[in-house]
């Protein structure tokens, strides 16, 4: 590990959303951090880093920037560059990087691959069938008309799973994914799986090979409307800790999910490094895996990182250097809640360029931070530039207090067409 006196590490953070703002905010508190760069960043990240207008998916541009700045670590935030092989390219140049290589990132890039790895490891999950042909998928649904979940096999920004109550909805989902191509080439293949029922939660871990450090559980809110109604989004809010995730559940996640899936990857010649995210469901039959992601969740990162008491740089550097065994992470007992403010129309079409007011006032509130997810600078003002615009995050001794503080802050911020759920975290206090 670098010494505090002489060996501060310059870091390049890849991405420009709310997750990356949370990472930049936490990294900026580390005595191990030298200079922080971000590609492309956003107006919120600019308070902590030098933002460079290079897209996260511009692999050549990111590699070139890392070489130009001679950074000691690259931290890749979003899944797309990981799935595209950015880590492979950086490692080929001898640049330390935190994130999985292309073969390991397939655990998010291909749901059928993830299912195969879970099968090898005996990891509990829903049964499924995989189809490359729309007619074959539709024929299967006619023979199995019960409730199912239809998933685009490839990456779909967290929106590729369509929960279906009946045969008609399932067939419409297959046509949307495979015929209408709403997720592009990610819908070349679909996974149709049995529908599970229960409460979902997210389990994230720092991983190096078969060693891992589990982070506190969090719970995302995917549907766009209160009461978990409406279409799925990238996430409308989150909270941590999750009361239903007991020590027994945590133990189950370690012993029946992370250990066997990492061993299964190793058995296939794949060494995982970075963050591994298990989307879990507490079913009547016990915890089951819904999906795996190859990076920090968004907005889960916002609530988990605001609870992190230890230095984020330590596990990042340890993973990049190949040995996580000497690292310990500490977590605050605080409860954290993130409320996502979105543009009107999201997750469908939405307008951009709406001026945002109230940010300066909220910045003065204690134990509150506003993470920028989809913002830009225009004519000296911060304006909307994405579907999910801001992640208003607060922490307090209890979830109820954190909810009150987060919504107090949210109500002080405004932009035309702002939409947010008003029930984030309510399950934890109900």
Decide the pairing of beta strands 190-194 and 148-152. antiparallel
pLDDT value for 31: 97
pLDDT value for 159: 74
Whether the pLDDT of residue 264 is over 50: the answer is yes
For 273-298, what is each residue's pLDDT tens digit? 999 999 999 999 999 999 999 999 99
pLDDT value for 115: 94
Task: Over range 172-194, report the average pLDDT.
Answer: 93
Whether the pLDDT of residue 259 is over 70: the answer is yes
Whether the pLDDT of residue 161 is over 60: the answer is yes
Return the residue matching tokens 């079409």. Answer: 349
pLDDT value for 242: 98
Whether the pLDDT of residue 197 is over 80: the answer is yes
For 65-108, what is each residue's pLDDT tens digit? 999 999 999 999 999 999 999 999 999 999 999 999 999 999 99
Quick check: helix, strand or coil at residue 280?
strand
For 326-381, what is each residue's pLDDT tens digit? 999 999 999 999 999 999 999 999 999 999 999 999 999 999 999 999 999 999 99
Query: CATH 3.30.470.20: which residues of the chain?
Result: 198-321
pLDDT value for 430: 81
CA distance linking residue 140 with residue 155, whole number of Å: 23
Q: What is the largest CA-CA distance in the chain?
A: 67
Whether residue 291 contacts residue 114, with contact meaning beta carbons closer than 8 Å, is answered with yes
Q: Which residues contact 68 (CB under 8 A, 6 or more apart)?
A: none
Cα dihedral 166, 172, 176, 180, rounded to 10, equals 170
For 8-19, what is each residue's pLDDT tens digit? 999 999 999 999
The model carries a pTM of 0.94
User: pLDDT grade, residue 6 (50/70/90)?
Assistant: low
Beta strands of 186-296 (E only): which ranges?
A: 190-194, 199-208, 211-214, 219-220, 223-225, 229-232, 237-240, 273-283, 286-293
Q: Any alpha helices (H) in 28-133, and if so which ranges?
A: 59-69, 79-83, 86-92, 102-109, 111-121
Whether the pLDDT of residue 2 is over 90: the answer is no
Query: CATH 3.30.1490.20: which residues of the chain?
Result: 133-188
Give burial (CB, 10 Å; 0-12/13-18/19+) of 292: buried
Whether residue 398 contacts residue 428, with contact meaning beta carbons closer than 8 Å, is answered with no
Whether the pLDDT of residue 36 is over 80: the answer is yes
Task: Over range 258-284, report the average pLDDT.
Answer: 97
For 99-158, what is each residue's pLDDT tens digit? 999 999 999 999 999 999 999 999 999 999 999 999 999 999 999 888 999 999 988 776
pLDDT value for 1: 43
User: pLDDT grade, residue 3 (50/70/90)?
Assistant: very low
CA distance linking residue 220 with residue 238, whole number of Å: 4
CA distance linking residue 415 with residue 341, whole number of Å: 9
Query: CATH 3.90.600.10: which residues of the chain?
Result: 335-429
3-state DSSP helix/strand/coil % of the chain, to nearest 5:
30, 30, 40
pLDDT value for 4: 36
Query: CATH 3.40.50.20: which residues of the chain?
Result: 10-101
Calculate what percentage of the chain has a pLDDT beyond 70. 98
Whether the pLDDT of residue 199 is over 50: the answer is yes
Fold entry, domain 133-188: Dna Ligase; domain 1 (3.30.1490)
Considering Cα of 262, then 323, then 78, then 393, what sign does the dihedral take?
positive
> How far out from the chain centre does Cα 3 lie?
31
Domain 10-101 has CATH 3.40.50.970: no
For 204-235, what is each residue's pLDDT tens digit? 999 999 999 999 999 999 999 999 999 889 99
CATH code, residues 198-321: 3.30.470.20
Q: Pick the more confident residue, 4 or 125.
A: 125
CATH code, residues 335-429: 3.90.600.10
Task: Over range 395-409, report the average pLDDT.
Answer: 98
Whether the pLDDT of residue 201 is over 70: the answer is yes
């Amino acid at each position: 590990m670098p010494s505090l006196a002489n060996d501060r590490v310059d870091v390049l953070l890849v991405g420009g959303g709310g997750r990356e703002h949370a990472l930049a905010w936490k990294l900026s508190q580390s005595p191990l951090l030298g200079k922080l760069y971000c590609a492309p960043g956003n107006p919120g990240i600019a308070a902590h880093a030098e933002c460079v207008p290079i897209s996260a998916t511009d692999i050549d541009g990111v590699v070139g920037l890392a070489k130009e700045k001679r950074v000691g670590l690259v931290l890749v935030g979003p899944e797309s560059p990981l799935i595209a092989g950015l880590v492979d390219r950086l490692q080929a140049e001898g640049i330390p990087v935190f994130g999985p290589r292309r073969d390991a990132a397939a655990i998010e890039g291909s749901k059928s691959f993830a299912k195969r790895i879970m099968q090898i490891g005996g990891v509990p999950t829903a049964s499924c069938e995989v189809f490359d042909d729309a007619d074959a998928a539709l024929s299967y649904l006619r023979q199995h008309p019960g409730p199912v979940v239809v998933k685009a096999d490839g990456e779909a920004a967290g929106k590729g799973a369509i929960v279906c109550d009946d045969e008609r909805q399932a067939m419409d989902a297959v046509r949307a994914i495979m015929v209408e191509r709403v997720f592009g080439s990610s819908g070349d293949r679909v996974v149709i799986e049995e529908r599970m029922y229960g409460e979902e939660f997210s389990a994230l871990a720092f991983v190096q090979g078969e060693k891992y450090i589990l982070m506190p559980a969090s719970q995302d809110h995917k549907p766009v409307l209160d009461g978990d109604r409406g279409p799925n989004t990238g996430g409308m809010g989150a909270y941590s800790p999750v009361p239903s995730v007991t020590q027994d559940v945590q133990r189950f996640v370690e012993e029946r999910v992370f250990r066997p899936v990492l061993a299964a990857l190793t058995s296939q010649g794949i060494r995982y490094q970075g963050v591994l995210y298990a989307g879990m469901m507490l079913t009547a039959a016990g915890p089951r895996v819904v999906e795996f992601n190859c990076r920090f969740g968004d907005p889960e990162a916002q609530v988990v990182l605001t609870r992190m008491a230890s230095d984020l740089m330590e596990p990042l550097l340890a993973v990049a250097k190949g040995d996580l065994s000497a690292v310990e992470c500490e977590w605050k007992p605080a409860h954290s809640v993130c409320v996502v403010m979105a543009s009107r129309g999201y997750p469908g079409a939405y307008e951009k360029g709406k001026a945002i007011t109230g940010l300066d006032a909220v910045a003065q509130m204690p134990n509150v931070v506003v993470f920028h997810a989809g913002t830009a600078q225009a004519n000296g003002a911060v304006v909307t530039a994405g579907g999910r615009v801001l992640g208003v995050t607060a922490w307090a001794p209890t979830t109820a207090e954190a909810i009150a503080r987060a919504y107090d802050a949210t109500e002080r911020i405004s932009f035309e067409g702002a939409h947010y759920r008003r029930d984030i975290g309510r399950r934890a206090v109900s």
